[in-house]
């Protein structure tokens, strides 16, 4: 049999089914139904309820952050995180083109403009090397921050994304951002449970955002979270995402442009039950990753693994094929046999709304775009 057929057999054996196998589906094997019933019985199903508070405390405990704020989805978490970092209309935010659309959209929602820099081959995330080269060529420090000499716009933030849960080189990125007075905002949407040198992703930058979409390691159906080690920013995050309403027994007074980004208590109930199972999910997924690693090494195919000093959550596992033609054959054959696989995202500057954005050569991003394929990664 071919390598692809062997992989199909491995996946079907692992999940013990001859039916369609999705890329990543949620598992509900804890208190999900119990907590949802409690929420319904309480009648507090919307944005106020005990599970919202519990979810925020659980996220603080899991990540080690000083403050966590529940929001409606991961995109909202990034949008508000950037605003809290000081991003304003016509500013620039440095990020990567090899990412999910939400990263770039969150920048645009703030009226800012993305600058796309290349990724590292080992992490598939924003490269300190290319960030440093860009800032040396285009960066200019002024009294109120760093500016892009080629556009005249302020570089208000740098937002790397931890691709598929693999942490980027955060120490090097942090050092560069500190040198150039640029706030570091982590797009940690895919990396719940991932560690960099023992610290949870999202806690090393000024602020971080997570997603709890239906295909994540832990899901609330739809939901997100903002985390930070700044109590002041955390308080402001909670205020802005709950419509910027001043507390009062009965009056509605809003004194800033806030957002109705509140996570409903129903979603928070689901999230709390899921977070209780997080460690079990991570253990189960790591066992699958180890099985894949052994298999693909035998087949002569590169299986992407965590780098030293990091611990990945292996949210979406992936292989790196030799070229685009081999990638297409892999995708076509697996999907034809009921095994869901998918290519990595189209690079952001290939999309019409971001085609005008400044970027560098993107050698690594384009290399990975032609070769990376995600494979079934669900906990069993």
47 band by pLDDT with thresholds 50, 70 and 90: confident
Q: Above 70 in pLDDT, residue 315?
A: yes
- Tens of pLDDT, residue by residue over 100-133, are 999 999 999 999 999 999 999 999 999 999 999 9
* Domain assignment of residue 129, yes or no: yes
Q: What is the 3-state secondary structure (H, E, C) of the chain?
A: CCHHHHHHHHHHHHHCCCCCECCCCCCCCCCHHHHHHHHHHHCCCCCCCHHHHHHHHHHHHHHCCCEEEEECCHHHHHHHHHHHCCCCCCCEEEEECCCCHHHHHHHHHCCCEEEEECECCCCCCECHHHHHHHHHHHEEEECCEEEECCCCCEEEEECCECHHHCCCCHHHHHHHHHHCCCCEEEECCCCCCCEECCEECCCCCCEEEEECCCCCCCCCCCCEEEEECCHHHHHHHHHHHECCECCCCCCCCECCCCCECCCCHHHHHHHHHHHHCHHHHHHHHHHHHHHHHHHHHHHCCEECCCCCCEECCCCCEEEECCCHHHHHHHHHHHHHCCECCEECCCCHHHCHHHCCCCECCCHHHHHHHCCEEEECCCCC
Looking at the structure, tell me whether residues 296 and 189 fall in a common domain: no
Same domain, 146 and 289: no
Please check whether residues 53 and 193 belong to one and the same domain: yes
Strand order in 139-142's β-sheet? 113-117, 92-96, 154-158, 145-148, 139-142
Q: Are residues 230 and 288 in the same domain?
A: no
The alpha carbon torsion through 318, 282, 73, 237 (nearest 10 deg) reads: -120
Residues 103 and 55 grouped into a single domain: yes
What is the β-pairing status of strands 302-303 and 224-228? unpaired
Residues 294, 263, single domain; the answer is no
Contact 1, 9 (CB under 8 A): yes
Q: Which domain holds residue 261?
A: 32-277
Q: Kindly state whether residue 216 falls inside one of the protein's structural domains.
A: yes
What CATH number does residue 233 fall under?
Answer: 3.40.640.10
Residue 379 counted as domain residue: no
Question: Considering Cα of 354, then 356, then 358, then 363, what sign does the dihedral take?
Answer: positive
Q: Please compute the mean of the pLDDT values over residues 223-246 and round it to a whole number.
A: 97
Residue 83 in any domain: the answer is yes
The reported pLDDT for the residue numbered 245 is 93
Average pLDDT over residues 262-290: 98
Total residues found in the chain within this entry: 380
Same domain, 255 and 312: no
Task: Kindly state whether residue 354 falls inside one of the protein's structural domains.
Answer: no
Q: Which of 277, 302, 321 is the last residue before a domain boundary? A: 277
- The pLDDT value recorded for residue 352 is 98
Mean pLDDT (whole number) for 1-12: 91
- Report the distance separating Cα 162 and Cα 192, nearest Å: 10
Return the biggest CA–CA distance within the chain.
71
Same structural domain for residues 13 and 119? no
Span 139-165, mean pLDDT? 98
Is 264 inside any structural domain?
yes
Task: Give which of 123, 139, 138 is closest to 172, Cα–Cα.
Answer: 123
Of 252, 277, 302, the one marking the end of a domain is 277
For position 1, what pLDDT does the model report? 56
Residue 266 lies in a domain: yes
CATH, residue 313 = 3.90.1150.10
Give the separation between CA 88 and CA 83, rounded to whole angstroms: 7
Indicate the pLDDT class of residue 58, thresholds 50, 70 and 90: very high
Could you tell me if 150 and 247 lie in one domain? yes
Task: Calculate what percentage of the chain has a pLDDT beyond 90.
Answer: 98
* DSSP-derived pairing of the beta strands 113-117 and 372-375: unpaired
Residues 51 and 126 in one domain: yes
The number of distinct structural domains making up the chain is 2
User: 234, 259, 277: which is the final residue of a domain?
Assistant: 277
Residue 352 lies in a domain: no
Nearest to 210 by CA among 55, 375, 39: 55
Q: Are residues 61 and 106 in the same domain?
A: yes
Same-domain check for residues 7 and 57: no
Predicted confidence at residue 249, as pLDDT, reads 85
């Amino acid at each position: 049999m071919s390598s692809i057929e062997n992989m199909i057999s491995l996946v079907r054996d692992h999940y013990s089914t001859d039916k369609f196998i999705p890329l990543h589906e949620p598992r509900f094997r804890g208190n999900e139904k119990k907590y949802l019933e409690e929420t319904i019985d309480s009648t507090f199903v919307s944005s106020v309820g005990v599970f919202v508070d519990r979810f925020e405390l659980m996220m603080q405990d899991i990540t080690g952050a000083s403050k966590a704020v529940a929001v409606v989805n991961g995109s909202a978490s990034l949008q508000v995180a950037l605003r809290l970092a000081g991003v304003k209309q016509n500013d620039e935010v440095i990020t990567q083109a090899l990412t999910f659309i939400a990263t770039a959209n969150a920048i645009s929602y703030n009226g800012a403009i993305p600058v796309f820099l290349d990724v590292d081959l080992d992490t598939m995330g924003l490269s300190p090397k290319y960030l440093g080269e860009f800032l040396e060529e285009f960066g200019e420090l002024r009294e109120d921050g760093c500016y892009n000499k080629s556009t005249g716009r302020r570089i208000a933030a740098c937002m790397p994304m931890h691709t598929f849960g693999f942490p980027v080189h955060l120490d090097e990125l942090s050092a560069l951002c500190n040198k150039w007075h640029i706030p570091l905002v982590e797009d940690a949407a895919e990396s719940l449970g991932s560690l960099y040198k023992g610290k949870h992703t999202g806690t090393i930058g000024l602020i971080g955002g997570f997603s709890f979409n239906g295909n994540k390691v832990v899901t609330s159906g739809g939901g997100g979270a903002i985390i930070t080690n700044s109590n002041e920013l955390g308080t402001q995050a909670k205020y802005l995402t709950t419509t910027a309403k001043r507390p009062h027994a009965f009056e509605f007074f809003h004194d800033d442009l806030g957002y109705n980004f509140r996570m409903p208590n129903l979603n928070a109930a689901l999230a709390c039950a899921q977070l209780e199972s997080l460690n079990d999910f991570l253990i189960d997924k790591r066992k699958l990753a180890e099985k894949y690693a052994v298999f693909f090494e035998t087949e002569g195919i590169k299986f992407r693994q965590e780098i030293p000093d990091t611990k990945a959550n292996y949210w979406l596992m992936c292989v790196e094929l030799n070229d685009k033609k081999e990638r297409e054959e892999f995708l076509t054959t697996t999907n034809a046999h009921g095994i869901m696989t998918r290519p990595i995202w189209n690079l952001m500057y290939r999309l019409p709304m971001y085609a005008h954005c400044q970027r560098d050569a993107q050698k690594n991003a384009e290399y990975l775009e032609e070769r990376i394929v995600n494979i079934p990664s669900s906990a069993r």
